[in-house]
Structure 1
Amino acid sequence: MTAEAVAVRAAVQELSSTADALRRELDVRWPADGDRMQEIARYGLLAPGKLLRPLLLVTAAEATGGSRDKVVPAALAVEYLHVASLIHDDVIDGDDLRRGQDSVHARYGIPDAIATGDGLLFRVFSAVAECAALGVPEAAVLAAVRVLAQAGEDMCRGQVQESLLAAAGPQGCSLDAYREMASLKTGALLRGACRAGALLSGGTPEETDAVTAFAEHVGLSFQMYDDLLPYLADSSVTGKPATSDAANLRPTFPVLLAYRTGSPVVRRRLELALGGGTSPEATFAELHDVLVATGALELAQVQSRAQAERAKARLGVLPRSEAADVLAAVADLTVRRGA
């Protein structure tokens, strides 16, 4: 086993232990005998998942000299924000499967799902504020609130941009526009989690900027690879239907690569596939054939891995620690999903 593989395995064990502790805290805070909104929130929050964003907040705090115990409420707040966005996204996309089970709106209905998502958004701020009672300076708490509020706004902006890109089709969507959308829709909360963790821990400006830049590249890598997963893994790994992007006619990263590097015939095939005239299953099958034939699947994997390497390079200014090693391993794990 290579040294890198050993480091990744150790990081996975550490992340798993931290995730278990966070799930226990969620279980306490959202009891099974709560009211209906609490029941719905519990269903979304305790669904199978990686808890990547709260794990990043905790680990970024530790990597910049902070204490895990003092930032747990803020870590949970990041998950509230993330799950709220998933609830709303699934309503927008009409996806009835999330994390391998019924999506929240499929189980509880659209009105209650939307209201619960809204409730989780408000809970974000009171959760972060709890850190002050644990010894975090109020100025740092306020800074973290601002960062997470901006992250939430950026996520929404990214969602709107994604809809515009879908309407434009592959011919009207540049790779730069895609990267900007991914930086907002996916990267914003990863950046917010890491930056908030460093701010709450009292990290130096250089350390705070380093983990923020790290998360920027992780966000791009994550979204690029996420777009590949329907073609590389089945729904038991992705937790949602493989045809979701095809059904919504999204020009995903590998599709855009194929379009920009392909022949006129390839471009026409992609335009027709995403023109809305066939079933999601037929659209997905056609896209898969084109991506394999053009080598776009392989090229997309190479570029997503390059972003992960750039993420790790940003960690050089941090003091050497187990937490910093875990952050580096997170970047590696981002492009190992479904493997």
Structure 2
Amino acid sequence: MTSQAATEAAENGARAFARSPGSGALAGKVRDRLAERWRRETSLLGTMCTEALVPSGKLFRPILLLESALAVGGDAEVVLPAAIGAECGHVASLVHDDIIDKDDLRRGKPSVQHKFGADNAILAGDALIFDLFSALAECRRTGASAERIVAALEVVARCGIDLCRGQSLEAELGERMDFDLDAYLTVVRLKTATLFRSACECGALLAGGDERMVRTLGSYAENLGCAFQIHDDLMSYTRETGVMGKPDTSDVRNGRPTLPVILAYQAATPADRAAITDILVGDGAPDVRRELLVSVMDRTGALRTADRLARKYSENAVAMASRLPVAASRDRLCGYARAAVERDR
């Protein structure tokens, strides 16, 4: 593939992802399997799991897993069950997040905890976590070796523990109103980037990738995950609920010091610092508090600074993906990294 063709493929991947996340044949297979995954289970649990999975979101993590398999020269059909599992695990984390944050909206519809209650939602999230492991085991029937499945299980287990560490640290930072940039970035790596890393490493492992390829894709995914989460944090203050499909006041309502808030605090005057703290711990209307916080961010340039950092991580991800063998999948991975900081939801 020529450099011009590679650039065009990457740009096309970015545009396609930004315009219609989860589009294409690979995503179609994942979406169809997800729709059927729990529908034969006629119990309340099956209903809740189906509600959580369907309609599907961007399908970013399963697509990353499939593209990683292709990038190391593997067969997407071999790792397809693992891709289904990646989405189950991701959705489980969203179900549990909505319980913790008391969010009533997810993907533009009532969250599982809002519709069925927190107790039932905990069970649904737990079931989807175990379904992730079940899906990985299904790769035995599609051609993955037992040794590589065990290696992938280790990656997923480590990811789950990191996810819990990140959630716990985030809660600690919120409780003590800690505006520590390094601690925030640690939370991002543990809560978000680890899911991306797990998807890419599992795809490469199950498809027969060597240690260098697995390591390269893991580094790509970690940078991509950081870019993705920082952009998400930005959208909480630059997009509205109707666009994002989830509450735009969640971070303010939960007193969460995300990157734009931390950067605003660090650059603010003493008066604005006091205002930021009051906004996050206050009891006023969340939409009013959000508007006041955005005004401080505008004065301090925090939104622009956060955007630059997200783009830096995106560029790092592109650089890592560029180390992979020349292939259309590699160029799509580069495109996804660029699109992660251009999307509006």
TM over 0.5: yes
Superposition deviation, residue 238 in structure 1: 1.7
- Give the drift of 1:11: 5.9
Is 2:333 aligned against 1:312?
A: no
Quick one: distance in 1 between partners of 2:179 and 2:159?
A: 24
Deviation at 1:323, TM superposition (A): 0.7
**Aligned partner of 1:257 among 263, 276, 291:** 263
Q: For 2:74, what is the secondary structure of its paired residue?
A: coil
Question: What's the counterpart of residue 44 of structure 1?
Answer: 52
Alignment match, 1:112 = 120
Equivalent-residue separation in structure 1 for 2:318 and 2:172 (angstroms) = 32
Given that residues 165 and 190 in structure 2 are in contact (C-alpha distance below 8 angstroms), is that contact kept between their aligned partners in structure 1?
yes
> Counterpart in 1 of 2:4?
none
1:60 aligns with 2:53: no
Partner in structure 2 of residue 23 of structure 1: 31
- 1:129 and 2:137 aligned: yes
The answer to whether the Cα contact below 8 Å between 2:17 and 2:339 also exists between their aligned partners in 1 is no
The 5 A counterparts of 1:1-339 are 3=8, 5-9=11-15, 15-17=22-24, 18-31=26-39, 34-169=42-177, 172-338=178-344
Q: Could you tell me whether the CA contact under 8 Å between 1:218 and 1:308 is conserved in 2?
A: yes
Per the TM alignment, residue 279 of structure 1 is displaced from its structure 2 partner at its CA by 2.7
Residues 6 and 262 of structure 1: CA distance in aligned 2, closer, same or farther (over 3 Å): same
Counterparts of 1:277 and 1:335, CA distance in 2: 32
Residue 325 of structure 1: how far off its partner (Å): 0.9
Question: 8 Å contact 1:8–1:332 — kept in the other structure?
Answer: yes
Higher relative contact order (CA 8 A, sep 6+): 2
Deviation at 1:32, TM superposition (A): 6.4
Q: What letter matches 2:64 in structure 1?
A: L
Q: Which segments of 5 or more consecutive residues in structure 2 lack a partner in the other structure? A: 1-6
How many angstroms does 1:7 deviate by?
A: 4.5
Deviations 1:122-158 (A, max 9, x none): 1111110111121111100000011011111111111
Give the AA of the match of 1:207: M
How high is the TM-score relative to the length of structure 1?
A: 0.94
Encode CA deviations 1:258-296: one digit per residue, 9 max, x unaligned.
111222222222122123243322221111110111111
- Measure, in 2, the Cα distance between the counterparts of 1:236 and 1:338: 11
Q: TM-score w.r.t. structure 2 length?
A: 0.93
- Three-state SS of the structure 2 residue aligned to 1:186 is helix
Give the counterpart letter for 2:263 in structure 1: L
Say if 2:22 and 2:59, in contact at 8 Å, map to a contact too. no
CA distance in 2, matches of 1:6, 1:326: 8
